[in-house]
Amino acid sequence: MIRNLTEQDKEHLQEALVKSGQKVTPQREAVFTVLLAERDHPTVDEVFHRAREVMPGLSLATVYNCLETFVGCGLVRQVNHERESTRYCPNLAPHAHFRDKATGRVHDIELPPEVLKSLRSILPPGFDSEVIEISFHGRAQAGEQHSN
């Protein structure tokens, strides 16, 4: 269930960390592995429990630290929905999030470049946006499986 990182993934991790002057550690590998294994936008706590199965001594503080580090070096995105616990997403392609009212699950929604562009175009001159967050909230029919 928590299969190991591919060589590709390891390189991706290492490059991003080293590029921002930080080290690859067993804890960071474990946390990153968890994020890639199941792309269901886990909360910190969920990451913590999953990672512990493979590294029992891991602390919650370290999970917070690792995730912050990953966000900082662009390996992972933070996903916020209203006041709920922060979730984490390793999908680096531009996408929106859909939270299912019924299940609480969060799905990735592909964001085509032209839609992104039309969104940017609504900003009046003088407004320069680095981050755009788009989140939907509603119902997804069962059967509409994870476009996770």
Partner DNA sequence: CTTGCAGATTAGACTCATTCTAACTGTGTT
Partner DNA sequence: AACACAGTTAGAATGAGTCTAATCTGCAAG
Of the two residues 54 and 116, which places its CB atom closer to DNA in the complex?
Answer: 54
For tokens 């999970």, the residue is 63
Tell me if 104 contacts DNA by CB under 7 A: no
Q: Given the complex with DNA, which of 61 and 131 has the nearer CB atom?
A: 61
Residue whose C-alpha is closest to residue 89's, from 104, 100, 97, 78? 78
- Sole binder of DNA in the list 9, 10, 12, 27 (CB under 7 A): 27
Q: Let me know the angle formed at the C-alpha of 23 by 34 and 42, rounded to the nearest 5 degrees.
A: 20
Least Å distance, CB 78 to its own copies, is 7
Lay out the site mask for DNA across 119-138 (x = CB under 7 A, - = otherwise). --------------------
With a CB cutoff of 8 Å and minimum separation 6, the contacts of 66 are: 27, 28, 31, 32
Contact between 127 and its own copies by CB under 8 A: the answer reads yes
